[in-house]
Amino acid sequence: MSRFKISFGLLVGVAALSFAGSGCNPASLSYFLFKGDGKAPALYPLKPKEGKKDVIVAVLVTGPINTIEFAGLERELATAIGRSLFEQTKDSKKVVIQMIEHSRLDRFRAENASWRTMRSADIGKKLGADFAIDATVTSISLYDREIGGTFMYQGRASLDVKVYDTVSGAQHSEYYVATQMEQKPSDELPKSQYKGQLIQRIARDLAWKHVPHITDQRVSSANP
């Protein structure tokens, strides 16, 4: 047994040196040795309230998006964020994160004319959420530039996010999300499809702030 441990340790050491010598990132070594099973921890985990197993979140997305190109973005992105949080935790033995349905938020806004002046924490509390995720889209775009007569997609977005504990009303966390997609010729797929991929990527990047995740692109790129 001791001989095996020494041999395995030697193998890891040699592999790490080989990676470093070749200019590769040694941090990605775990992907080859352990098939990418290692996960980065959540920076801002959302913990269940006392007596609860799951976490309920209200996702509120706002932003100065006035173009036809991004009509409906607030609802689409909020739904995508909630789905991403759920999908990445549904098989967890610890915590499952579920979102308040957007239809309930719509109904709340319709019944409360002063909702725009309310704190996100208070809105989340009224809806029965444990946390309110307040995401403000500060910039978003689909295109990079024109090359040889073809416009190139390269989706980008930035968001300022504040998360509130609805029970105490205190701020739980604050962070910035910066998303950038791979460049693609616009004639490869419809604009609506690329836009959908960008929204999913933004949602994933935000969800990663709250859930453990695999960061190796050979694994994560399968889920844009």
pLDDT band at residue 19 using 50, 70 and 90 as cut-offs? very low
85 and 15, same structural domain? Answer: no
**Is it the case that residue 11 has pLDDT exceeding 60?**
no
Q: Structure tokens of 6?
A: 């020494």
C-alpha dihedral sign at 101, 104, 106, 108: negative
How far is Cα 43 from Cα 163, in angstroms, rounded to an integer?
13
73 and 8, same structural domain? Answer: no
How far is Cα 19 from Cα 151, in angstroms, rounded to an integer?
37
**Is it the case that residue 176 has pLDDT exceeding 80?**
yes
112 and 30, same structural domain? Answer: no
Model pTM score: 0.77
State the average pLDDT over residues 62-70.
76
Bridge partner residues of 135 (DSSP): 61, 161
Least confident of 10-24, 71-85, 100-114, 148-162: 10-24
Residues in contact with 135: Cβ distance below 8 Å, sequence separation at least 6, in sequence order: 59, 60, 61, 62, 77, 78, 81, 159, 160, 161, 177, 206
Q: What is the pLDDT of residue 138?
A: 93
pLDDT band at residue 186 using 50, 70 and 90 as cut-offs? confident
What spatial distance separates the first Cα and last Cα of the chain, rounded to whole Å? 43
Q: What is the pLDDT of residue 184?
A: 87
48 and 33, same structural domain? Answer: no
138 and 30, same structural domain? Answer: no
Query: In sequence order, what DSSP letters do the residues of 144-190 get, joined into one string?
Result: EEEETTEEEEEEEEEEEEEEEETTT--EEEEEEEEEEPPPEETTSS-
**Is it the case that residue 218 has pLDDT exceeding 80?**
no
Q: What is the pLDDT of residue 136?
A: 96
56 and 9, same structural domain? Answer: no
Q: What is the pLDDT of residue 185?
A: 86
Q: What is the pLDDT of residue 50?
A: 86
The alpha helices in the chain, defined as continuous H runs, are 2-21, 29-34, 73-87, 102-111, 120-126, 191-207, 217-220
pLDDT band at residue 116 using 50, 70 and 90 as cut-offs? confident
61 and 20, same structural domain? Answer: no
102 and 14, same structural domain? Answer: no
**Structural domain count, the chain:** 2
Residues in contact with 148: Cβ distance below 8 Å, sequence separation at least 6, in sequence order: none
Give residue 3's domain range. 1-37
How far is Cα 179 from Cα 223, in angstroms, rounded to an integer?
14
87 and 9, same structural domain? Answer: no
Q: What is the pLDDT of residue 216?
A: 58
The CATH number linked to 57 is 3.40.50.10610
How far is Cα 188 from Cα 38, in angstroms, rounded to an integer?
34
pLDDT band at residue 211 using 50, 70 and 90 as cut-offs? very high
pLDDT band at residue 35 using 50, 70 and 90 as cut-offs? very low
How far is Cα 166 from Cα 126, in angstroms, rounded to an integer?
9
57 and 155, same structural domain? Answer: yes
Q: What is the pLDDT of residue 148?
A: 52
20 and 77, same structural domain? Answer: no
88 and 32, same structural domain? Answer: no
